[in-house]
Structure 1
């Protein structure tokens, strides 16, 4: 019973407002679902990026519109057990999107990639976004109705599975980003353009992927 109560309360705890925020989560129970829908839109938009910064602006806008939810969620503290994993799962999806949007925008201005390579990268990110979106939709379903239809063991196992799935997607996004950028570094080294590439992507110490 305690676990069920915690899981229900996490949705209420997601309701966070700062002095600078001008919005309120009016329906916290749908937070995971709302983010899942936006991630799905990002994945769809990514398939039509067409290798230009102007076409990428829609992807960036969708991420910025959702970022406020991630920022608010980060301020929710002292969660344990199921509630903590629900929060961390949503935040990992936020990390994935940040890696994609931040890195791919730089790749679009990097002459070391061909248009075909950029398209392939966008498709790879889109697939990872789609999978994480499906995981969040499943999480939303659990938070909304699963507490009434599942026993503690089943609920905990499902949350753990979703958490671990998203954790793998996040690791894959980080690896995919690093591998893609490493291609540019190799090509830049051959052309003697390391300074330019370092300036674009930052030093190894301050890269966030």
Structure 2
């Protein structure tokens, strides 16, 4: 139960950090709150703590909770078996981690000043494709878990969620690997840059 509550707190903090983001990040914020609701359904004993956290967030960010309530209302009309499906929260968690890795990796590039021209364009283009793919998957997740207009049985909805979960895992794995490769290449470039400087000093250049 402690782990669940810690996870809930973590999701709340992530929601606060994304407050200033644009439309795509607002959808991610909405989905984080949806993940909270999923875990609340599983953790009845921890409900009071969660409720207190919600009240705190509501006080800090006036109006945000009203935005998320639209999601909760729409969940009422979908079979609880779908809305409580644990992988919904897992998908959201993976997407949040992808966004963090993407954001941190890109933020470090100008500071290091090691990538330029085609290399930098390739990195930005690759991350942009990944983030766009994640955004599409989040939109689809929202549709599957809220829309009653979709002519889908509950088992079909869960099957689609499973596919989105596998896609999220693949995207997360790629994101970590790609970011790791960038860091390794940056270290190599930094060493080369340092070697050149030392050689110039030795040669009196």
Q: Please give the TM-score of this superposition, normalised by the length of structure 2.
A: 0.57
* Larger proportion of helix: 2
For 1:90 and 1:25, the matched residues in 2 are separated by 18
Gapped regions of structure 1 (runs ≥ 5): 1-9, 32-79, 194-209
Choose which of 158, 172, 181 in structure 1 pairs with 2:183.
181
Deviation at 1:18, TM superposition (A): 5.5
Provide Cα deviations, 1:84-117, integer angstroms capped at 9, x if missing partner.
2111211211111111111111111213212331
For 1:186 and 1:12, the matched residues in 2 are separated by 41
Equivalence map 1:84-103=2 (5 Å):
84-103=86-105
Change (3 A) 1:19 1:25: closer
Choose which of 121, 131, 134 in structure 1 pairs with 2:133.
131
Contact in 2 for aligned 1:86/1:159 (Cα 8 Å): yes
Deviation at 1:149, TM superposition (A): 3.2
Partner of 1:5: none
For 2:167 and 2:159, the matched residues in 1 are separated by 12
Q: Please give the TM-score of this superposition, normalised by the length of structure 1.
A: 0.56
Partner of 1:156: 158
Paired residues, number:
137
Gapped regions of structure 2 (runs ≥ 5): 1-33, 39-50, 72-81, 196-205
Larger Rg computed on CA atoms: 2
CA RMSD of aligned residues (A): 3.1
Deviation at 1:171, TM superposition (A): 1.0
Give the 4+ runs in structure 1 shifted more than 4 A. Answer: none
Provide Cα deviations, 1:119-163, integer angstroms capped at 9, x if missing partner.
211111000000011111111111122597322321211110011
